[in-house]
Amino acid sequence: MSKRFFSPVLLFLFLFTAGQQPADILHYRFQVHLSDQSDTLNGLTTVRAKLLDNVSSLRLDLTRTGNNGKGMRVNRVTRSGKEDLRFSQSDNQVHLYFTHPAKKGDTLDLQIAYAGIPGDGLIISKNKYGKRTFFADNWPNRAHHWIPCVDDPADKASFEFLVTAPEHYQVISNGIQVEETNLPGQQKLTHWKEEIPLPTKVMVIGVAEFAVQQTGWLHNCIPVSSWVFPENKNQGFYDYAQATEILAFYDGYIGPYPFKKLANVQSKTIYGGMENAGAIFYSEYSVTGERRAEALIAHEIVHQWFGDMASEKNFSHLWLSEGFATYLTHIYLEKKYGTDSLRQRMREDRNQVLEFVKLSRRPVADTSRNLMSLLNANSYQKGSWILHMLRQELGDTVFHQAVRQYYAQYAGSNADSDDLQRVFEKVSGKDLGYFFSQWLHRPYNPELKITRKADRLQIEQVQKGLSFRFPLTLKLDYSGHTITRTFAITDQTHQFTIENSDSLLRVETDPLVGLLAAIQFVEF
């Protein structure tokens, strides 16, 4: 997702650990009734779960109605639609109790009937034109505010949404539309189904008055569409049409696009963009008619592979989503606009990383339980720089092979940073342990003081903390010619001799923009 337009709400969220749950969720069937008369949601969720142990109870994440009147009240729980189960609710969970213990290996169908006003997760509001809208906004673990689920990226499941709403709305969701039926009382049922197991963070619905355009096809079989507010449809159709070209590029660069459609949706997300699988939600202000959102669209499309299909095991490895989306956006723009575009964007990213570390000394692999705080320059720009430096280390061809292999190996499942390291080591034949250790786990970056005195060049690491190992490239401009030299920096201080120093006019540090470091050059 993109941080642009981010609204700082819900600063403290709690992580529910799927590893503590003795069941694997296989499928969700979410039946949701929405109304114009009130913000109350009426829901019936069927959860299909395979038991991983003998159990007498299970729990699902669901926010209980609070003193502010917002939250969900469970009315009934049944097993297979027949046996009523005893249940209880705590602040953020519903506990289901079995009359007879269920056995390991059993597959259960559990139905939870509930109702309430979502305090979050499903944003019920008005768009910039004053029209009522309903948009799910689940990242990182906000789905439990409106649907019963295991709200953790490690527990993936297939799912479907059956949305009953006033007939003047259109409904967009993940997967493919399997039904749209007009009902009595000026109501309409819309049914979308996604067969690929996904995390709850990208399971969504969007309910609004839309103008819809078919903008293109991938391989003549996967539709790419734009869903925008009717009042700015011409600008929206023009802006979002870039998605077809971008999708084709990543389909070739990463691997086959995994979903059966791509809908690009103008929405009320609190983020600049949210990478919901096959149905990307963008800020309502992303539409300008001037195609300013090309990088944003590319970023969210990358997430269809990295974040949606190949998901992080937990949010401490968020850079595997956001770092990939940031850097592969740069690669797309490099391909389209040239290497100078890449270098300029890497300079901008580096500046953001170096400014961020002044305020927060946190590692990229960050175990903070304040999940919103992870939307920072470490996860995005430093994650991007880690990939950029890997590319310099391995070369374009090997780096590209490793990206493709990592995705192919973990598509449909979850990975962490160690998994990525193993793939890159296998493809490259190199030991990358020190590389990943220093860049992922140290809460600071190299700070270099480079001093030139006569024919001597001293390179000193002055950051507080351990020394880094990296290659440093310098461009030496002489009268009439230029020499580029790369130095292997392995210790805190290195000294080198400059040949023909009398005719040296200028020293340029990191001319190819390949090193994440703060560099000060001093000449005597």
Average pLDDT over residues 143-147: 98
Verify that 485 and 360 share a domain, yes or no. Answer: no
Closest CA relative to residue 268, chosen from 166, 465, 110, 128 = 128
How far apart, in whole angstroms, are the C-alpha atoms of residue 305 and residue 257? 7
**Rounded CA gap, 398 and 25, in Å?**
37
Q: Classify residue 393: in a domain, yes or no.
A: yes
Task: Give the Cα separation of 282 and 275 in Å (integer).
Answer: 9
Residue 454's CATH number:
2.60.40.1910
**Does 202 lie in the same domain as 157?**
yes
3-state secondary structure of 350: helix
Q: How far apart are alpha carbons 260 and 304 in whole angstroms?
A: 12
Q: In terms of Cα–Cα distance, which of 373, 488, 387, 493 is closest to 440? A: 387
Quick one: 319 and 376 in the same domain?
yes
Residues 421 and 472 in one domain: no
User: Does residue 7 sit within a domain?
Assistant: no
Q: Is residue 11 part of a domain?
A: no
CB–CB of 287/239 below 8 Å? yes
CA-CA distances (angstroms) from residue 397 to 201, 212, 346, 358, 486? 33, 40, 20, 35, 21
Whether the CB-CB separation of 251 and 407 falls below 8 Å is answered with: no
Confidence label for 10 from pLDDT (cuts 50, 70 and 90): very low
pLDDT tier, 68 (very low <50, low <70, confident <90, very high otherwise): very high
Which residues span the domain enclosing 76? 18-302
**DSSP H helical segments within 292-377, as ranges?**
294-302, 319-337, 339-359
Distance CA 234, CA 153 (A): 36
pLDDT of residue 498: 84
> 251 and 141: one domain?
yes
Provide the CATH number for the domain around residue 81: 2.60.40.1730
- Report if pTM > 0.85: yes
- The reply to whether 418 and 457 lie within a common domain is no
Over residues 26-50, the pLDDT tens digits come to 999 999 999 999 999 999 999 999 9
What was the pLDDT predicted at 129? Answer: 98
- Mean pLDDT (the chain) is 94
Residue 100 within a domain: yes
Contact 188, 181 (CB under 8 A): yes
Stretch 212-216: mean pLDDT: 97
Domain final residue, candidates 250, 280, 302: 302
State which of 409, 441, 473 marks the end of a domain. 441
Structure-block tokens of residue 358: 């002044």
Output DSSP code: residue 272: S
CA 149 – CA 155 distance, rounded (Å): 10
Instruction: Check residue 84 and give its pLDDT.
Output: 96
Domain presence at residue 6: no
Residue 480 has what pLDDT? Answer: 83
Q: Domain for residue 376, yes or no? A: yes
Q: Are residues 328 and 404 in the same domain?
A: yes
pLDDT digits (tens, 9 = 90+) for 161-190: 999 999 999 999 999 999 999 999 999 999
Give the CA distances from residue 249 to residues 127, 225, 244, 379, 396, in Å, rounded to whole numbers and listed in that order. 32, 17, 9, 24, 16
Edge-first strand listing for the sheet containing 41-51:
83-84, 71-79, 107-117, 41-51, 23-33, 157-166, 187-198, 176-183
pLDDT of residue 8: 35
- 3-state class (DSSP) for residue 322: helix
Q: How far apart are CA 309 and CA 311, in angstroms?
A: 6
CB hemisphere CA count around 393 (13 angstroms): 23
Inter-CA distances, 237 with 218, 241, 243, Å: 17, 6, 10
CA distance 440 to 417: 9
Same domain, 113 and 191: yes
pLDDT band at 524 (very low <50, low <70, confident <90, very high): low
Q: Which of 396, 411, 441 is the last residue of a domain?
A: 441
For the segment 359-365, the average pLDDT, to the nearest whole number, is 94
CA–CA distance, 210 with 230 (Å, rounded to integer): 6
Q: Are residues 319 and 398 part of one domain?
A: yes
Q: What is the number of structural domains in the chain?
A: 3
Are 30 and 118 part of one and the same domain? yes
8 in any annotated domain? no
Residue 268: CB atoms within 10 Å: 20
Quote the pLDDT of residue 502. 78
Query: For residue 505, how far is the Cα from the chain centroid?
Result: 46
State pLDDT tens for residues 253-307: 999 999 999 999 999 999 999 999 999 999 999 999 999 999 999 999 999 999 9
Query: 147 in a domain, yes or no?
Result: yes
425 and 460 part of one domain: no
Q: List the Cα angle 207/299/224 in 5-degree steps.
A: 50
Instruction: Indicate whether 5 pLDDT > 80.
Output: no
> Are residues 117 and 223 located together in one domain of the fold?
yes
